[in-house]
Amino acid sequence: DQQVKQNSPSLSVQEGRISILNCDYTNSMFDYFLWYKKYPAEGPTFLISISSIKDKNEDGRFTVFLNKSAKHLSLHIVPSQPGDSAVYFCAASAYNNNDMRFGAGTRLTVKP
């Protein structure tokens, strides 16, 4: 039961351009969404989050957009840098739930 879906396994972007990573979810009880970044052989690290009462959250080069009616969120990275190359996981949780559901991840490659 894949409640969080990242349908693009990989994305390649030129340095300086915008990277857009997409995520869809099915559980309408989810009210908090997060993006994690993962390098090989390391644990994921928290990147940015958004609660369901907002539709946009920005932190430097990273912006997350939430469309609740479409059950869709996206992560925008602009400008993209080679150091952004990693696997990005979308995650979602519901209030008072003790676990978080992750998507399958999208491997971003930023070419110099």
Partner 1 sequence: SQTIHQWPATLVQPVGSPLSLECTVEGTSNPNLYWYRQAAGRGLQLLFYSIGIDQISSEVPQNLSASRPQDRQFILSSKKLLLSDSGFYLCAWSVRVETGSGYTFGSGTRLTVV
Binding site residues, partner 1, CB under 8 A: 6, 9, 31-32, 34, 36, 41-46, 49, 51, 89, 91, 93-105
* Smallest separation, CB 89 to partner 1 (Å): 6
* Smallest separation, CB 49 to partner 1 (Å): 6
* Smallest separation, CB 112 to partner 1 (Å): 26
Is the peptide bond preceding residue 79 cis, with omega within 30 degrees of 0? Answer: yes
